[in-house]
């Protein structure tokens, strides 16, 4: 399957190369946040928010258009002033307003925005009323009980903020895998071009495809005579050199992300790769395995006394330990070594096993492409079916469909399916689960669809019992097929819902509902361990891109990686089914189980 389009790059991961739409939108969003903290005119704030949304949904790259000398077309919400800012960002990477805001507001305020539960409004209040500029000050004020008295805060919020702020302090924030990957791969390319470098690859959590990445680890094989680290620190993205020796260097990039580079001699590349891929827990377990065999394992090789038994490749190292090579996604010390010893490692799902995608949007709601464009892009991504699941009417910010517009789309899909070859569009909806657990559209409409994907988009703060009951009630609905992004977390923005997930998974199992592994970079929802738990409870997982644009089908690769980390095999995943099998699941499985209302 060919998936070439790259994931977005927010301003936090500014790589070299052309400025992407996501970069521009990210700057506009940050301007909106900063303006809001700055007490600016609400219409001005809204203008930047809307512009960011418009730019994210575009189907062409603005920078490419400008480079080709074309004028910007008229875009919703983008007038002369904003068009000027776009030009400025495309030519210089940033704009003066953004830089001015960042320099006039205390820099810590931007950091406060990343604490769960704190949006710009609350940050503004904390800053204006209590002079809080940093996470440390926030903690102190919370511990002194000063935050609860602010209007709209209260004791519970104070306690929650304290927990969130403490979590944020002392560890830099982790970024979504998909945001970090392009940057890491660019650094790898850069390293490979240094004369004398034989191999270079990512290691650490990035190679294990964790949903978030703390820092980037890169491993290089080169002869000792090559001064790799001196070359490396010349890279223009590097802001600070933290540690530098001939064989290792740690730097901070302009985005704040840390990169650790280790250089080893080619003979020990395999052993070093095992070591730096980790995880630490996996390393400890295989080191114990070595000890049991009377051997010693280090980053330089596997040794019996002074004799090196294996070091040049990973396969050789694992083999000398009596193990098959273990794929990096499994190296978390969750039983993979024991399973490998028994020859019981799973046959993990692969990207090419996916036959369809069951969650996608078009321009009809908040996507950026037409039905037809999405169908072609899904075909190009190697898929045979694609469910179109627009937002429903309650979600007004996303132009959710009302009954009339949904019926119109049903007709359009029927007409398009008659023309499409090798691709079937399924009629679906991402229906809002309302506060009381009812669905946002009536039964007689839902009945006409191939599948109903249900999701929470409001009232994220309900107490555990109420949130759980709400979702259980939604799943009781006879047409409910898949629970989308069950946790509703947004990495660095929103904590997972407070709910009884085991109860929900159990209910999904009893009712024949599937659960989603949403592969949007900021979602990656369910987590790996939760997917594994759901599978053990007999629930099928649907790995969905939640595509809003053609390029978003590229996210499926990350969804599959997370599924592999969950030990899932092709059979555990709903959308590896053929279209015919899928339809059986949707009709018989989902609709005729006991317990369905």
Residues contributing to the site for Ca ion (CB under 5 A): 204-205, 215, 217, 260
DSSP string, 326-349: --GGGTTTSSHHHHHHTT----B-
User: Which entry of Ca ion, ligand DGT, none binds 424, CB below 5 to 8 A by partner kind?
Assistant: none
Q: Report d(CA 197, CA 195) in Å as an integer.
A: 6
- Minimal distance, residue 248 CB to ligand DGT, in Å: 12
How far is Cα 62 from Cα 67, in angstroms, rounded to an integer?
A: 9
**Structure tokens, 132:** 């809080």
Binding part of the chain for ligand DGT, among 79-87, 204-212, 555-563, 572-580 by CB under 6 A, reads 204-212
Closest CB to ligand DGT: residue number: 278
Task: Give me the 246-285 binding string for ligand DGT, x by CB under 6 A, dash otherwise.
Answer: -----------------------------xx-xxx--xx-
**363, 334 in Cβ contact below 8 A?**
no
The least distance separating Ca ion from the CB of residue 214, rounded to whole angstroms, comes to 5
Contact predicate 472/550, CB 8 Å: no
| Binder among 54, 205, 392, 467 for ligand DGT (CB under 6 A) | 205
Residue 427, token pair as written in the block: 């009629």
Tokens found for residue 501:
């997930």
Q: Which of 486, 519, 512, 485 is nearest to 501 (CA)?
A: 486
Contact between 301 and ligand DGT (CB under 6 A)?
Answer: no
Closest distance of CB 210 from Ca ion, Å: 9
Q: Would you state the structure tokens that stand for residue 522, as one six-digit string?
A: 């900021």
The minimum distance between CB 186 and ligand DGT, in angstroms, equals 18
Alpha-carbon span 496 to 500, nearest angstrom? 11
Q: How far is the CB of 98 from Ca ion (least distance, A)?
A: 29
Residue among 333 and 373 whose Cβ is closer to ligand DGT? 333
Least separation in angstroms between residue 278's CB and ligand DGT is: 2
- Tokens for 515, please give them: 């659960």
Q: How far is the CB of 571 from ligand DGT (least distance, A)?
A: 30
Q: Does the bond joining 126 to the residue before it have cis omega, within 30 degrees of 0?
A: no
Nearer CB in complex with ligand DGT: 95/259 = 259
Work out what residue 276 binds among ligand DGT, Ca ion, none; the CB cut-off runs from 5 to 8 Å by kind.
ligand DGT
* Cis peptide preceding 339, ω within 30 of 0: no
From 177, 213, 271, 348, residue interacting with ligand DGT (rule: CB under 6 A): 213
Return the number of the residue (125 or 283) whose C-beta is nearest ligand DGT.
283
357 touches which of ligand DGT, Ca ion, none (CB within 5 to 8 A by kind)? none
**Smallest separation, CB 274 to ligand DGT (Å):** 9
Q: Would you mind telling me the total number of residues written for the chain in this entry?
A: 597
Which one, 259 or 381, has the nearer CB to ligand DGT?
A: 259
CA dist., res. 241 & res. 108, Å (int): 22
Q: Are strands 238-244 and 212-213 parallel, antiparallel or unpaired?
A: unpaired
Is 215 or 528 the residue whose CB approaches Ca ion more closely? Answer: 215
DSSP 75: B
Euclidean distance between CA atoms 337 and 327, whole angstroms: 11
Structure letter (DSSP) for residue 90: H
Residue 280 interacts with, from ligand DGT, Ca ion, none (CB under 5-8 Å by kind): ligand DGT
Residue ranges that bind ligand DGT, judged by CB under 6 A: 204-205, 210, 213-215, 217, 275-276, 278-280, 283-284
């Amino acid at each position: 399957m060919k998936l070439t389009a790259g994931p977005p790059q927010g301003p936090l991961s500014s790589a070299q190369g052309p400025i992407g739409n996501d970069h521009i939108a990210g700057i506009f969003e940050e301007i909106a946040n900063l303006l809001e903290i700055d007490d600016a005119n609400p219409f001005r704030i809204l203008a930047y928010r809307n512009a960011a949304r418009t730019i994210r949904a575009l189907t062409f790259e603005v920078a490419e258009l400008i480079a080709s000398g074309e004028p910007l077309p008229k875009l919703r919400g983008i007038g002369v002033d904003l068009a000027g800012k776009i030009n400025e960002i495309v030519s210089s990477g940033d704009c003066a307003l953004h830089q001015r805001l960042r320099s006039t507001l205390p820099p810590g305020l931007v950091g406060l925005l990343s604490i769960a539960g704190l949006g710009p409004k609350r940050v503004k209040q904390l800053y204006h009323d209590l002079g809080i500029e940093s996470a440390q000050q926030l903690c102190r004020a919370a511990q002194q009980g000063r935050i609860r008295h602010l209007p709209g805060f209260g004791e519970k919020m104070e306690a929650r903020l304290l927990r969130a702020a403490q979590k944020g302090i002392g560890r830099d924030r982790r970024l979504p895998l998909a945001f970090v990957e392009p940057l890491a791969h660019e650094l790898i390319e850069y390293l490979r071009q240094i004369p004398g470098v034989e191999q270079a690859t990512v290691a650490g959590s990035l190679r294990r495809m964790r949903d978030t990445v703390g820092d980037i680890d890169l491993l290089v094989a080169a002869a000792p005579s090559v001064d790799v680290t001196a070359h490396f620190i010349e890279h223009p993205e590097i802001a600070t050199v933290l540690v530098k020796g001939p064989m290792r260097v740690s730097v901070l990039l302009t985005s704040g992300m840390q990169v650790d580079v280790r250089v080893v001699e080619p003979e020990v590349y395999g052993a070093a790769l095992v070591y730096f891929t980790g995880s630490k827990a996996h390393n400890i377990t295989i080191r114990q395995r070595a000890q049991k065999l009377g051997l010693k394992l280090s980053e330089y090789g596997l040794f019996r006394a002074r004799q090196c038994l294996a070091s040049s490749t990973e396969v050789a190292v694992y083999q000398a330990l009596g193990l098959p090579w273990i794929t990096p996604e499994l190296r978390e010390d969750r039983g993979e070594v024991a399973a490998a010893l028994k020859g019981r490692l799973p046959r993990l799902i692969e990207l090419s096993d996916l036959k369809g995608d069951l969650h996608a949007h078009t321009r009809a709601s908040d996507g950026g492409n037409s039905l037809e464009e999405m169908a072609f892009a899904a075909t190009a991504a190697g898929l045979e079916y694609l469910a179109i699941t627009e937002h429903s009417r309650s979600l007004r910010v996303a132009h959710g469909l009302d009954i009339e517009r949904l019926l119109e789309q049903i007709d359009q899909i029927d007409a398009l399916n008659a023309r499409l070859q090798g691709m079937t569009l399924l009629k679906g909806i991402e229906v809002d689960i309302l506060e009381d657990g009812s669905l946002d559209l009536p039964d007689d409409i839902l009945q006409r669809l191939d599948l109903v994907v249900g999701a929470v988009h409001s009232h994220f703060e309900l107490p555990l019992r109420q949130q759980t009951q709400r979702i259980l009630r939604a799943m009781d609905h006879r047409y409910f097929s898949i629970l989308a992004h069950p946790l509703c977390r947004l990495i660095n923005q929103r904590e997972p819902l407070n709910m009884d997930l085991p109860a929900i998974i159990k209910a999904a199992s009893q009712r024949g509902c599937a659960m989603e592994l949403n592969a949007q970079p900021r979602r990656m929802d369910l987590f790996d361990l939760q997917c594994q738990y759901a599978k053990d409870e007999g629930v099928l997982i649907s790995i969905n891109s939640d595509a809003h644009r053609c390029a978003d089908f590229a996210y499926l690769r990350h969804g599959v990686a997370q599924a592999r980390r969950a030990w899932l095999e092709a059979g555990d995943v709903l959308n590896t089914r053929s279209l015919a099998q899928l339809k059986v699941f949707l009709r018989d499985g989902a609709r005729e189980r006991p317990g369905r209302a």
